[in-house]
Amino acid sequence: MGRRANARTQAARAVAAVVRGRSLADVMPRLSQAIPAAQRPLMRELAYGALRWHARLRAQVDALVKKPLRGKDADVDALLVIGLYQLQYLRVPEHAVVTETVEAARSLGKSWAAGMVNGVLRSFQRRREELADAGSDAARHGFPDWLWRRLRAAWPADFEAVVAASNERAPMSLRVNLRHGSRDDYLARLTAAGIPARPSPVSPAGVVLDAPADVEALPGFAAGDVSVQDIAAQQAALLLDPQPGERVLDACAAPGGKTAHLLEHADCEVMALDVDEHRLQRVGETLQRLGLTAHTLCADAARPVDWWDGRAFDRILLDAPCSATGVIRRHPDIRLLRRDADIERLAATQARMLDALWPLLAPGGMLLYATCSILPQENRDPVAAFLQRHGDAGLHDAPVSWGRDVAPGWQILPGEMQADGFYYALLRKS
C-alpha cells in the first residue's frame, strides 16, 4: 500500500474489494491500519457512503467515462465513485475534492489516471443537473433493481418509508447489563460523561444515543456494564424468555450479542453454536468482557448429527442466515453483495435449519425464529410452510407492543422504534 496511503486511497481499495465480492467487515480492519488513526473516520465515511449510494454513483460514472475501467483498475473506478460521493453528499469544498481525489490516484500508483480523474470530476461539476437523474428509479435511490422490485411488492403501503429509512445513518443503541446496575443509573453515567442518550420505550435495557460514540468512551464498557446492540435485536432474549436452569441453544450465535443477552436475562445453560470459527471467537471475547459463560462450539446447526449429545433443549434461538435486507443502512455493502437468486437459496437453508433443530426441542419448549430480513420469502413464508409440515408446532402468542403482526410472526421495518428491520416468530412444541 506504500507510504502514501491515505483515507481516499484506502476507501477506494475497500470499495473495489466489495465490488469483487468481499465484505466491508473483512477488508476495513486491515486497510484502515495502513493510515493514521486521525484519517480513519474519513475513510469510513467515504467507503460506507460510496457503497450506500453506489448504484446512483455508478450510473453517473458510466455516463461520464467513455471506456469502463475493469480488472486491475477497479480501484481507480472506485475512486471515481468516491469523488462523486464527496461532490454530492459531503460538505467539502469542491476544489479540495478534485485536488485530493486526483492526488489519491497518484497515491494508488496510477499516475496515468490522474488526468482522467480530474476530467471526470470537473465534467460532473458542469453536468451536475443533467446527471442527477442518471440510472433507473432504483439506482437513483441507491438500490439494486431486484431489491427495489421485491420491496415494492412486499411493502406497497410502506415502500417509500422503507427506502428512506434504509438510506439513513443507523442510530447507535446500547443494552445495559441489568445485572450490573439499573438503566436509569447508566443513563446518569452517560450524562456525566457528556454523552446524550434516551431510554428505549420497547426494551427495558435499551438506550439510544443521540450521536454515535466510540465504545471506549462508554462508561463501564470494558467492565461489561453495557454492550452495543440494536433495539430490534434486543427483543430476541425478551421473546424467548429463558428461565433459570433451562438448557438453551443459540444456533447461529456469532458475534455473540444475543448469546450474552440470554445469559444476562437468566441463569441458564447456553450452548452457542456457529459454523464460522473466526466469528465464533468474537462470541468468546464478548462473553469474557461481560463475565459470562457459555459452551461455544463450531458446528453446522443444520447437521445436529455432528454435534448434538441427545439432551433436549428447553429453548432454541435460530437467528437464521438471511439477506440482511433489514440492516442495509448499517451494512451498505449488502446492496452489492446480495443477488436476487440468493433469496430462494437462503429460504431453502432456513427451512432446512428449522427442520433440523425442531427435534432437539423438548416437548413444551419454544423455538424463536429470527432474521434481519424484511422480505416475506425469508420470514413468514418459511415459518408458515414449517407449521404445515410439523403438526406438533404452533405459534406462541407473546404479548408485544412493537412491530407488525404479519401472521405468522412479527415484522419490524427499518427505522420503526429507532431500530433495524427484524422478523420474529415464536414457536411452541406441543
Say if CB 358 and CB 305 are below 8 A apart: no
33-52 pLDDT, tens digit per residue, is: 999 999 999 999 999 999 99
Q: CA–CA separation, 192 vs 189, rounded Å?
A: 5
* pLDDT over threshold 80, residue 70: no
Nearest partner of 270 among 291, 240, 308, 296, judged by Cα: 296
Q: CA–CA separation, 21 vs 369, rounded Å?
A: 28
Say if CB 98 and CB 124 are below 8 A apart: no
* pLDDT over threshold 80, residue 113: yes
What's 362's DSSP letter? E
What's 103's DSSP letter? H
Number of neighbours of residue 268 by Cβ within 10 angstroms:
18
Extract the C-alpha cell encoding 59: 450510473
Q: Which residue has the higher pLDDT, 76 or 2?
A: 76
Say if CB 351 and CB 318 are below 8 A apart: no
> What integer pLDDT is reported at residue 143 of this predicted model?
98
SS3 category, 227:
strand
CB-based burial label for 181 (10 Å; 0-12, 13-18, 19+): middle
Average pLDDT over residues 10-19: 97
> What integer pLDDT is reported at residue 71 of this predicted model?
60
311-334 pLDDT, tens digit per residue, is: 999 999 999 999 999 999 999 999
Average pLDDT over residues 242-248: 98
Residue appearing with cell numbers 435495557:
205
pTM more than 0.75: yes
Say if CB 248 and CB 316 are below 8 A apart: yes
347-385 pLDDT, tens digit per residue, is: 999 999 999 999 999 999 999 999 999 999 999 999 999
Nearest partner of 61 among 43, 45, 77, 76, judged by Cα: 77
* pLDDT over threshold 90, residue 68: no
The enclosing H or E element of 318 equals strand 313-319
Alpha carbon distances (Å) from 146 to 35, 110, 339: 36, 34, 8
Average pLDDT over residues 170-180: 97
Q: Give the phi and the psi of residue 10 in degrees, each rounded to 5.
A: -70, -35
Q: Give the confidence band of 67 by pLDDT, cuts at 50, 70, 90.
A: confident
Arithmetic mean of pLDDT over the chain: 96
* pLDDT over threshold 50, residue 242: yes
> What integer pLDDT is reported at residue 1 of this predicted model?
45
* pLDDT over threshold 50, residue 24: yes
Active-site option among 252, 268, 322, 372: 372
What is the DSSP pairing of strand 410-412 with strand 404-405?
antiparallel
> What integer pLDDT is reported at residue 4 of this predicted model?
80
Structural domains in the chain? 7-140 (1.10.940.10), 173-228 (3.30.70.1170), 235-429 (3.40.50.150)
Average pLDDT over residues 379-393: 98
Q: CA–CA separation, 382 vs 416, rounded Å?
A: 24
Average pLDDT over residues 260-280: 97
Average pLDDT over residues 61-65: 94
> What integer pLDDT is reported at residue 72 of this predicted model?
66
* pLDDT over threshold 80, residue 2: no
Nearest partner of 270 among 317, 221, 213, 319, judged by Cα: 317
Question: For the sheet containing 206-209, what is the strand order?
Answer: 197-199, 206-209, 173-176, 226-228
Active site residue 372: yes
